[in-house]
Amino acid sequence: MATFADRLDHVLGVKAAEPLADAFDMHTVEDLLRHYPLRYATQGQPLTEEAPEEGAHITVMGRITKTELRPMKNRRGSLLKVALDVGGTRPVDITFFNGDKVRYLVKEGAKAMMSGTVHWWRPDRWNLSHPDYLIMPDKGDGTVENLTTVRGGGALRGLAQSAKGAGGVDVSFFEREFIPVYPATAKVQSWDLLRCIRQVLDQLDPIDDPLPEDWRTEHELMPVSDALRLIHLPEHKSDIEQARGRLRFDEALALQLVLAERRHDVEGRAARPCPPRTDGIAAAFEKRLPFELTEGQRSVIEEISADLSRSHPMHRLLQGEVGSGKTIVALEAMLQVIDNGQQCALLAPTEVLAAQHYRSLRAMLGDLGSGGELGAADNATRVVLVTGSMSTKDKKAALLDTMIGEAGLVIGTHALIQDNVEFHDLGMVVVDEQHRFGVEQRDALRAKAKEGVSPHLLVMTATPIPRTIAMTTLGDLETSTLTQLPRGRSPIVTKVVPAKVKPSWVDRAWERIQEEVGAGRQAYVVCSRIGGDEEEKAKKGKAKSAEEKEAPSTHAAVDLFETLSTGPLADLRVGLLHGRLPADEKDRTMRAFNNAEIDVLVCTTVVEVGVDVPNATIMAIVDADRFGVSQLHQLRGRVGRGKHPGLCLLITETNPVGSAMARLEAVSATTDGFELAVLDLRQRREGDVLGSAQSGTARSLRLLSLLDDLEVITSAQQLARAVVDSDPGLKQHPGLAGMMHAAVDSERLEYLAKS
């Protein structure tokens, strides 16, 4: 007999278990049983009533009534045309391309199983082209006996070989209505997995269900032992749906248990309360604001203020549309903490964004942010910048101010996480663009607080997160959302420029930039790659031969800068900004653009987030099809930030009727970031979000849809929080703990949080 926790090499033997470990990281019985079928080969629907869809994979069994060998018209070889009687009004047409090889097995009168893909070749006729097949022995009276010799081809032959025992192959298995087909590899085929799973199920001891019976009853969930048997060996279609429903809930619960434990851990920590003051820097700053906060901003500021006043660390996500005013909300929160004698750290993903935050926050604070300098306000704090490429002198000065507590607000990149950065009394961490940072990086910065206390945490994102995604990836955070745009923000119009069919439109795009600059405004031109000699050499080095098919060419920033500054935009001041430039040059360029000393900035995605130049009104994104939906939405948010409307031009040479063009048209049709976030996830496929290639493991969510299963995720979250609140660490619920670790690993969950 076997249990969930038993090792596969003990149950199946080393020879069978090693390939499973290598290909799928399976080591236990539970690992194997949670490798669910990708689909099911079926006996097909009643073909007399309904025609199968083009591309459908079906399995049919019947008797061969006719075979005809025909020579191919355009090449050597023969086709074998077969008619298979499956009991309908018309036999199934089947074509084998290696007719000479299979005609000795595929004969008239034989009973056969065929499994393949449906292809319609006339409005009223379809066939199976070169299907897998298995010749079934029978006594002539319609009954099927065991196979002693396997005759057939493709996957069905392999499946029969794997099921062969001392008495031959039990072909009754092939008469099942649903035969599972598994995600497989070249070395571990679907039938190998089925053989191993059947062997394990034959030995499996009764399973203690980790879910409370009252929860199973309330949510109409079958026992896990039944679900695991029926997902692999269903008798009816309803078996599959019920099994999937239970196992889908298991996946949601596993995710929510991880997040509930993380949330409980945060709630158990201590933090220094930071209540608001009426006579501090925060109140002075708000009195100076030259504009009125939106109702949404005020509401979120009140939520955060209440969190900061408690003796437990705030753990909150602030999300909002591009330009919705998240930075001002975060600044108000940080000033409340500074009023209580503690320091704040603002972590940005790039040096360009960190420097932009430094400049903009200093400008907003004025003399309130120039502590220690001549002319500073009485209650001023000091704002410092820490990045990896700063000069040694400047970095030492910033680090010293941070260590002795002179700096109330420390802005930086990953450099803030390094061991040599010490805070005098860190009270709050703000992480901008949270998807760029993992849980470990956030924890490393929070660990710089004084021993025994945890800093408050605010993570921000301008990439809207659908509710189910937020619940599943950031369920340990409370969520605040800004939906209103501040007064005075101008609308952004987005247009697709199909360069392949309308090349003159590209010329018009450069003319529009000329017009905007002529009116005193500025422009961005964004490219998908940097270019330059090193990149070109690397590309040439990868080419195997002159005949090798090359990927469609894209425009590099370095090259386009030269083209535009000497061609269509020669009479304008054109600048270049990309990630390979030295830090001081990047800073000079960005300052010049901020100060309107550059008319057009040719750049890469270093300007994707946080860059705020109100005078920039037009952006041309070249090779726009190379960018994701959310990235395009982020980029276009750099224009229209002032009193003039914004224009974003999506220049592309992609096929005008392809999926890439449809994606660009969708971006141009709406500025609703939440709608686009859902579109982005659907097009990238949810499997990619938790994908094995990115996370470094072959496991992934198999059944749960992060976009569509809101009800399941909500129910799982309620149960997970209730269980963890009463039993932190799940010591009284070993079954749930085991299910959590088997169904989802924390490494992949952290990858999802970054996606």
Task: Please name which of 304, 265, 261, 267 lies closest in space to residue 282, comparing C-alpha atoms.
Answer: 304
Confidence band for 546, pLDDT divided at 50, 70 and 90: very low
Q: How far is CA 604 from the centre of its chain?
A: 22
Residue 691 has what pLDDT?
36
- What is the overall mean pLDDT for the chain? 83
User: Looking at the structure, do residues 404 and 434 belong to the same domain, yes or no?
Assistant: yes
689 contacts 752 by C-beta, under 8 angstroms = yes
Residue linked to tokens 């509930």: 260
Q: How far apart, in whole angstroms, are the C-alpha atoms of residue 262 and residue 440? A: 12
45-54, 194-203, 438-447, 471-480 — most confident range: 194-203
Mean per-residue pLDDT for 579-600?
Answer: 90
CATH number at residue 146: 2.40.50.140
- The predicted pLDDT at position 43 comes to 56
Q: Is residue 160 part of a domain?
A: yes
For residues 42 and 170, membership in a common domain is answered with: yes
pLDDT grade, residue 341 (50/70/90)? very high
Residues 440 and 510 grouped into a single domain:
no
Flag whether pLDDT at 48 surpasses 80.
Answer: no
Which percentage of the chain shows pLDDT scores above 70? Answer: 83
Residue 219 lies in a domain: no
Measured between alpha carbons, how far is 724 from 267 in angstroms, rounded to an integer? Answer: 12
Instruction: State the greatest distance between any 2 C-alpha atoms of the chain, in Å, as a whole number.
Output: 104
Please report, in angstroms and rounded to a whole number, the separation of the first and last CA atoms in the chain. Answer: 42
- Side chain identity at 552, as an amino acid letter? P
DSSP annotation of 385: E
Q: How far apart are CA 410 and CA 348, in angstroms?
A: 11
Instruction: Render pLDDT for 3-43 as a digit per residue (tens, 0 to 9).
Output: 888 999 999 999 999 999 998 889 999 889 989 998 886 65
* Domain assignment of residue 258, yes or no: no
**91 and 155 belong to one structural domain:** yes
28 and 61 both lie in a single domain: no
Question: 57-61, 138-142, 435-439 — which one is most confidently predicted on average?
Answer: 57-61
The CA distance from 455 to 426, in Å, is: 6
Same domain flag for 23 and 48 = no
Model confidence at 169, in pLDDT bands (50, 70, 90)? low
Answer whether residue 55 shows pLDDT above 80.
no
707 falls within a domain: no
Query: Is the per-residue pLDDT at 440 higher than 50?
Result: yes
Q: What is the mean pLDDT of residues 426-455?
A: 78
- Interval 736-750: pLDDT, tens: 887 777 555 545 445
In this structure, the answer to whether residues 177 and 296 fall within a common structural domain is no
The whole-number pLDDT of residue 384 equals 96
Gap between the Cα atoms of 182 and 190, Å rounded: 5
My answer on whether 351 and 430 are in the same domain is yes
pLDDT at 545 over 50: no
Of these ranges, 63-77, 87-101, 455-469, 506-520, the one predicted with the greatest mean pLDDT is 506-520
Give dist(CA 462, CA 637) in Å, integer: 10
Residue for token pair 């084998």: 96
* Rounded distance between C-alpha atoms, residue 409 and residue 732, angstroms: 44
Position 475 in a domain: no
21 is in which domain, residue-wise?
1-36+193-205
Whether 138 is in a domain gets the answer yes
Q: Which two tokens stand for residue 130?
A: 């070169």
Cα R_g (the chain), whole angstroms: 32
Q: In 3D, which of 341, 390, 338 has the Cα closest to residue 361?
A: 338
Structure tokens that stand for 665 in this block: 């048209």
Residues 86 and 56 in one domain: yes
| Tally of residues, the chain | 755
Mean pLDDT of 363-388: 90
Placement of tokens 């971006």 in the chain:
667
| DSSP for 281-332, written as a single string | HHHHHHHH-SSPPPHHHHHHHHHHHHHHTSSS--EEEEEE-TTS-HHHHHHH
Same domain, 27 and 119: no
Could you report the per-residue pLDDT of 276-326, keeping only the tens digit for each?
Answer: 999 999 999 999 888 888 899 999 999 999 999 999 999 898 988 777 788
**Whether 516 contacts 522, CB under 8 Å:** yes
Cα–Cα distance measured from residue 340 to residue 481, given in angstroms and rounded to the nearest whole number:
26
More confident residue, 244 or 126: 244
Q: 330: domain CATH number? A: 3.40.50.300
pLDDT tier, 466 (very low <50, low <70, confident <90, very high otherwise): low
Residue 266 domain flag: no
pLDDT surpasses 50 at 639: yes
Nearest to 631 by CA among 413, 424, 322: 322
Name which of 396, 405, 398 is nearest 423 in CA terms: 405
- Mean pLDDT highest for which of 307-311, 359-363, 634-638? 307-311
**Distance from C-alpha of 231 to C-alpha of 35, rounded to nearest angstrom:** 10
Residues 275-313 as b or e (16 or more Cβ within 10 Å = b): ebeeeebbebbeeeeeeebbebbeebbebbbebbeeeeb
* 392 vs 415: CA distance, rounded Å: 13
**Residue spans of beta strands (DSSP E) within 259-392:** 315-320, 343-347, 382-386
Q: How many domains is the chain partitioned into structurally? A: 4
Do 88 and 98 reside in the same domain of the chain? Answer: yes
How many helices (DSSP H) and strands (DSSP E) are in the chain?
A: 28, 24
Q: Work out the average pLDDT over 50-68.
A: 79
Query: Would residue 244 count as lying in a domain?
Result: no
Whether residues 22 and 85 fall in one domain: no
